[in-house]
Chains A and B, each alone.
Chain A
Amino acid sequence: RKEVEQDPGPFNVPEGATVAFNCTYSNSASQSFFWYRQDCRKEPKLLMSVYSSGNEDGRFTAQLNRASQYISLLIRDSKLSDSATYLCVARSNSGYALNFGKGTSLLVTP
């Protein structure tokens, strides 16, 4: 059973569009959640942490629903530079290992 599941996409959207990614996690002991961004053949880079109260960073909004074990990422006003793979990540309270989803691919087109 996969610990973190994401729709692989790809999501193809025009510039300026709003796009939403969803993620579910199976380990109820997971305590911390993140969205990382990975460009082709590059390292994962932290986009934002996800808090129960929801949090926003510019055009990016993340939400966490612990009851449903569901995490989301909303990107508003998409830019060409947003094209990347978005990785949903969970970490349990028993250690510091990050559990990655396989990622959702986004392509923003002119």
Chain B
Amino acid sequence: EPEVTQTPSHQVTQMGQEVILRCVPISNHLYFYWYRQILGQKVEFLVSFYNNEISEKSEIFDDQFSVERPDGSNFTLKIRSTKLEDSAMYFCASSGQGGETQYFGPGTRLLVL
């Protein structure tokens, strides 16, 4: 069964450093998403991406965040200057069409020290 994959599974970084989280969505999917989940909190939407541009973003997704689809398979989330409060599990998801089921990857656990 096709699945979303994410790398790395864990990332530890120093405050102020840049991090790039990588995702490989399901191959024939057209819509891509990033969510995050702070420990003990709910899953929160960050951004959706379609046709090589952001289609929707939340208040969390400020200028420190960016997304890119650098090639035909990868979808990345960049945090330019990490803060302590960016520590969370980051989930990538994809769907065939916008209104279809979103399938989540296993997540990248980011710890900012």
Contact = CB atoms under 8 A, between A and B. Distances in A.
Interface in A72-110: 87, 95-103
A31 B103 CA distance: 19
Given A44-B43, A46-B102, A100-B43, 20 more contacts: A43-B91, A43-B104, A43-B106, A43-B107, A44-B91, A46-B101, A46-B103, A87-B43, A95-B48, A96-B55, A96-B95, A96-B99, A97-B45, A97-B48, A97-B58, A98-B35, A98-B45, A99-B45, A102-B41, A103-B42
B106 A95 contact: no
B44 interface: yes
Interface in A58-76: none
Main secondary structure of the interface of B (DSSP, over half): strand
A46 B33 CA distance: 15
B31 interface: yes
B105 interface: yes
| A: interface residue count bin | 10 to 19
A57 to B, nearest CB: 14
